[in-house]
């Protein structure tokens, strides 16, 4: 099975599984079968079965993950296109972001602590709502496990992408701008990519939530954890 | 295409330089995003110069998260040991963030609009 460890084979496999998962979702119409989620699950099972280590896979995966940073830069385009609208609503946006950021960090820490999670896990969970590079940075500086944070961040993003709009509708958040903003705040770039599919203005507000919560969490999380005695 | 790549990677590179110079903990990609928005707003670059590339990157952003997601396999034991706290804490907290952020924005945005309609803040 040595040929399976070839970077190009692993890359082709990743593209192929994702394509298959997307076709399968289209065919079934089930939103739960998120192609990102399905691809991750299939790859993990496959790697475990063939005994390929994550280190080997990540050499190939690195070529894909690399595009995450340029993709975040590209979000500047929808942000620019909606700047006028956003400027008019600056106060509501800023205030909801500030509360969202504090609630996101405090609630996850309180619940995890109450349920007996270890200190390392709690720190790794704290920046869960923000985009991977920021979350890993925050986690590292506080003494958590950055790659656990990365994995949790992706899971949170998937949860937001799959269930986010449903949750918002159930709780009567109907305004499309508020919906976009919340999705970006709670589930960063994965949620934002889902919001983009719904429409450019949802996406623009989601990218705004992604940016503001990212910056606020990077600035506030260390203080919040200190105050909470973690 | 080359110009599109140049603009996006230049924004990213400037972000890296700013992080390197100042040592701030904001990722270079976020700085690059804000820089791109500013350049477009200041008319320093035209929208057509980045539109194709950025549309491509944004519409495939989800796919780029697959490899960091596969990293979950490294922590299956830790996650299994603390499965309940991890799942409950993240799900409840994510729902809270979604709903509270949405509510506050929805209510205050409506308030702001009503105020404008009354003519209080209208110019």
Whether A101 shows a pLDDT value over 60: the answer reads yes
- Which of B13, B24, B36, B89 to probe the A interface (max A CBs under 10 A)? B89
Q: Give the pTM.
A: 0.81
Whether A134 shows a pLDDT value over 90: the answer reads no
Compute the mean pLDDT over every residue in chain A, rounded to the nearest whole number. Answer: 90
First to last CA, chain A: 46
Are B104 and A100 an interchain contact pair (Cβ–Cβ within 8 Å)? yes
Are B99 and A74 an interchain contact pair (Cβ–Cβ within 8 Å)? no
Average pLDDT of span B47-64: 90
Residue of A106, A80, A102, A67 lying closest to A185 (CA atoms)? A102
Whether B41 shows a pLDDT value over 80: the answer reads yes
Contact list, A98 vs chain B (CB under 8 Å): none
State the pLDDT at residue B108: 87
Compute the mean pLDDT over every residue in chain B, rounded to the nearest whole number. Answer: 87
- B103 close to A (CB below 8 A): yes
Contact list, B89 vs chain A (CB under 8 Å): 107-109, 111-112, 115, 117, 125
Contact list, A62 vs chain B (CB under 8 Å): 67
- Which of A77, A109, A127, A135 to probe the B interface (max B CBs under 10 A)? A77
Query: What band does B120 get if pLDDT is binned at 50, 70 and 90?
Result: very low
Whether B24 shows a pLDDT value over 80: the answer reads no
- A181 close to B (CB below 8 A): yes
Are B102 and A137 an interchain contact pair (Cβ–Cβ within 8 Å)? no
Instruction: Using a pLDDT cut of 70, give the percent of chain A over it.
Output: 100
State the pLDDT at residue B118: 46
- A230 close to B (CB below 8 A): no
> ipTM more than 0.90?
no
- B30 close to A (CB below 8 A): yes
Whether B122 shows a pLDDT value over 80: the answer reads no
- Which of B26, B47, B68 to probe the A interface (max A CBs under 10 A)? B68
State the pLDDT at residue B114: 61
Q: How far apart are CA B62 and CA A154, in angstroms?
A: 10
Query: What band does B32 get if pLDDT is binned at 50, 70 and 90?
Result: very high
Residue of A195, A88, A199 lying closest to B109 (CA atoms)? A88
Instruction: Using a pLDDT cut of 90, give the percent of chain A over it.
Output: 57
**How many CA atoms are closer than 13 Å to the CA of A78, on its beta-carbon side?**
29
Higher pLDDT, B77 or B10: B10
Q: How far apart are CA A160 and CA A186, in angstroms?
A: 7
Q: How far apart are CA B45 and CA B11, in angstroms?
A: 12
Instruction: Render pLDDT for A191-226 as a digit per residue (tens, 0 to 9).
Output: 998 998 898 889 989 988 988 898 889 889 988 998
- The first and second tokens of residue A175, run together, are 């305004």
Which of A71-80, A176-185, B18-27 is least confident? B18-27
Query: What band does B46 get if pLDDT is binned at 50, 70 and 90?
Result: very high
Q: How far apart are CA A134 and CA A217, in angstroms?
A: 8
Residue of A136, A131, A137, A142 lying closest to A214 (CA atoms)? A131
């Amino acid at each position: 099975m040595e040929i399976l460890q070839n970077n190009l084979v692993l890359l082709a496999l990743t593209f192929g599984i994702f394509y298959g998962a997307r076709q399968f979702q289209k065919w079934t119409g089930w939103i739960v079968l998120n192609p990102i989620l399905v691809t991750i699950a299939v790859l993990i099972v496959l790697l475990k079965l063939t005994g390929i280590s994550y280190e080997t896979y990540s050499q190939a995966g690195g070529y894909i993950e690399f595009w995450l940073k340029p993709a975040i830069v590209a979000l500047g385009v929808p942000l620019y296109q909606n700047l006028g609208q956003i400027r008019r609503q600056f106060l509501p946006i800023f205030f909801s972001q500030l509360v969202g950021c504090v609630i996101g960090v405090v609630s996850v820490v309180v619940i995890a602590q109450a349920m007996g999670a270890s200190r390392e896990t709690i720190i790794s969970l704290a920046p869960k709502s923000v985009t991977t590079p920021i979350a890993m940075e925050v986690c590292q500086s506080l003494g958590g496990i950055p790659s656990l944070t990365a994995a949790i961040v992706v899971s949170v993003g998937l949860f937001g992408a799959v269930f986010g709009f449903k949750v918002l509708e159930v709780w009567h958040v109907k305004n499309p701008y508020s919906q976009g903003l919340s999705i970006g705040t709670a589930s960063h770039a994965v949620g934002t990519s889902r919001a983009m599919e719904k429409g450019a203005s949802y996406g623009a507000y989601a990218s705004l939530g992604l940016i503001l919560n990212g910056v606020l969490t990077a600035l506030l999380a260390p203080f919040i954890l200190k105050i909470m005695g973690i | 295409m080359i110009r599109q790549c140049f603009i996006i990677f230049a924004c990213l590179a400037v972000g890296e330089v700013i992080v390197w110079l100042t040592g701030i903990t904001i990722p270079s990609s976020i700085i690059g995003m804000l820089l791109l928005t500013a350049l477009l707003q200041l008319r320093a670059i035209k929208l057509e110069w980045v539109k194709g590339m950025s549309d491509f990157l944004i519409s495939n952003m989800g796919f780029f998260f697959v490899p960091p997601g596969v990293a979950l396999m490294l922590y299956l034991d830790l996650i299994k040991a603390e499965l309940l706290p991890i799942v409950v804490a993240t799900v409840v907290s994510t729902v809270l963030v979604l709903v509270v952020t949405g509510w506050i924005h929805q209510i205050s945005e409506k308030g702001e609009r009503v105020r404008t309609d009354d003519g209080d803040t209208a110019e």
